[in-house]
Amino acid sequence: MTVPVPYRVVARRADTPDTATIVLEPVREALPPFASGQFAMVYAFGVGDIPLSVCGIDGDRLTHTVRAVGAVSGALHGLRPGLTVGVRGPFGTGWELPEAAGRDLLVVAGGIGLAPLRPLVLAALAAPGQYGRLNVLVGARAPGELLYPDEPWQAAARVLTTVDRPDPAWTGEVGVVTTLIDRAAFDPLRTTAFICGPEPMIRAAAADLVDRGVDPDRIRVSLERTMHCGTGHCGHCQLGPLLLCRDGPVVSWSRAEPLLIVREL
């Protein structure tokens, strides 16, 4: 869908001082179904639109977690129930979780990168016996920036967390998220990994997993470039031969690695 469809904010939760989760439902017609890993272009009327990953899918309702870092994201972060936004989508590729049936799942998230991975974790938990062991490794800059700490799935999955800057009350791990890989329970030869977060973290985590024997074709990463149109026409999100709004954001590490090692590509 290339024309914005009106969606109404029906719920809002403040996650951190600069991050909020909003739930949207269609005012009239609904967009086609979204898959986990895909994104929508969400328009704040009078300000502009930005790409937002879907962090929850419940029938026609869409859930997005947005961090206020600019004019548009700031406007969306400040929305309250009852207000309306425009939504286009679905766009891009998904995580393709069913292809990992019978395999261990390793989810690696940095910061707000946990948002697009959340529906994948929920889908895996909703299909007991279909997948092997599920490990969710989460890193954040500080304890107060960890997303979804009280949601039930955090207790249902094996979740390991670490922060860069602990506060006096923090008793968990300190360091980058890749330090948690040693504590995860998985068989590299029968594991599918899903990684989202800052690009340096993606590169480090994927390289670590390859060194341990995980097949690069079985490592799925979500990449980010500036997206304007969402339809592959403007070229702002180009990464070598890929237009990430169309060919991504989720791609295999075997496809992403040779592109990410090229300086300033």
pLDDT in tens, 249-263: 999 999 999 998 887
Residue-wise pLDDT tens digits, 122-155 = 999 999 999 999 999 999 999 999 999 999 999 9
Between CA 71 and CA 115 the distance in angstroms is 20
Q: Token digits for 245?
A: 């709004």
Residue 158 has pLDDT above 70, yes or no: yes
Residue 177 has pLDDT above 70, yes or no: yes
CATH code of 97-260, in short, is 3.40.50.80
Residue-wise pLDDT tens digits, 161-172 = 999 999 999 999
Q: What is the pLDDT of residue 225?
A: 82
Q: What is the pLDDT of residue 208?
A: 98
Residue 239 has pLDDT above 80, yes or no: yes
Architecture of domain 5-91: Beta Barrel (2.40)
Antiparallel, parallel or unpaired: β 242-243 and 19-26 = unpaired
Q: Over range 61-80, report the average pLDDT.
A: 97
Residue-wise pLDDT tens digits, 10-29 = 999 999 999 999 999 999 99
- Start-end of CATH 2.40.30.10 domains in the chain: 5-91
Residue 230 has pLDDT above 90, yes or no: no
Q: What is the pLDDT of residue 82?
A: 98
Q: Which residue matches tokens 């989810």? A: 107
Please spell the DSSP secondary structure of 47-73, one letter per residue. Answer: TEEEEEE--EEETTEEEEEEE--SHHH
- Write the burial class of residue 106 (CB in 10 Å: 0-12 exposed, 13-18 middle, 19+ buried): buried
In terms of pLDDT, which residue wins out, 91 or 231?
91
% pLDDT > 90, the chain: 88
Count other C-beta atoms under 10 Å from residue 216's C-beta.
16
Residue 132 near residue 106 (C-beta atoms within 8 A): no
Between CA 148 and CA 76 the distance in angstroms is 19
Considering the entire predicted model, what is its pTM?
0.95
Q: Residues with Cβ < 8 Å from 232, sequence gap 6 or more? A: 243, 245, 246, 247
Number of alpha carbons in the 13 Å side-chain half-sphere of residue 152: 3
- Start-end of CATH 3.40.50.80 domains in the chain: 97-260
How confident is residue 265, by pLDDT bands cut at 50, 70 and 90? confident
Beta bridge partners of 103: none
Residue-wise pLDDT tens digits, 181-222 = 999 999 999 999 999 999 999 999 999 999 999 999 999 999
Q: What is the pLDDT of residue 65?
A: 98
Q: What is the pLDDT of residue 1?
A: 53
How confident is residue 3, by pLDDT bands cut at 50, 70 and 90? confident
Q: What is the mean pLDDT of the chain?
A: 95
Q: Token digits for 90?
A: 């679905």
| Residue 122, φ and ψ in degrees, nearest 5 | -65, -40
Q: What is the pLDDT of residue 60?
A: 96
% pLDDT > 70, the chain: 99
Antiparallel, parallel or unpaired: β 191-196 and 219-222 = parallel
